[in-house]
A and B are shown apart, each in its own frame.
Chain A
């Protein structure tokens, strides 16, 4: 069945780059997503990548997709304390964009 796996924790120093990794199982997923969740706030879409792309860059965010290995990563350049949050990887399933989420990676940014 569909499954999305992520590492649970990542700690980085302010100003360094963060890389959050994700693996997924549904090779028919059309889109793959990264969402951010801050305490007490709703899920916020950060970026997404179409399955026929290898890379997408959006300001400080870079998404890399290895479709052969079903591996997705999110790189955040110059990580700031405001980037501290839980990051969810999600794949779309079905023709109507039903989202299958990973358990989330908690990113902690320290001075």
Chain B
């Protein structure tokens, strides 16, 4: 079956521009997570959605970052006034049940590589 998909796979933008990154989770998964992975590092948590609501956005670096999930399925991560330090791979993951492993296993998408020039 279809896994988590993310578009675009690569995005190159100029400093100061606005970008949107899209995540299509596995159908029926209510939990959705965004992570950011900088070069040579492990993924860092950004935000978690349960259904349509952002239950924890404590990982968003600042108010230039915002994410939505209006219908409880597709999510969009939005970055305003991009900076060179925003360059990273942005990963999306979804799970059937957020409460622990097993059914709570997070399935990761391939990521969007964002490069800010």
Contact = CB atoms under 8 A, between A and B. Distances in A.
A associates with B: yes
Interface of A is mostly: strand
Contact of A98 (B4, B33, B40, B109): B33
Contact of A104 (B42, B93, B98, B100): B42
Nearest to A106: B40
Interface residues of B, number: 29
Given A42-B109, A99-B106, A31 B56 contact: no
Contact of B42 (A31, A44, A101): A101
A63 to B, nearest CB: 12
Given A33-B101, A94-B56, A100-B45, 8 more contacts: A42-B4, A43-B93, A96-B50, A99-B43, A99-B45, A101-B35, A103-B41, A104-B42
A85 B41 CA distance: 14
A54 B31 CA distance: 29
Contact of B108 (A30, A43, A104): A43
B48 interface: yes
Interface of A: 4, 30-31, 33, 41-45, 48, 50, 88, 90, 92, 94-104
Contact of A97 (B42, B43, B99): B99
Interface of B: 4, 31, 33, 35, 40-45, 48, 50, 55-56, 91, 93, 95, 98-101, 104-111
Contacts of B98: 95-97
A31 B48 CA distance: 18
B106 A42 contact: no
Of residues B35, B108, B111, which shows the largest number of chain A Cβ atoms within 10 Å of its Cβ? B108
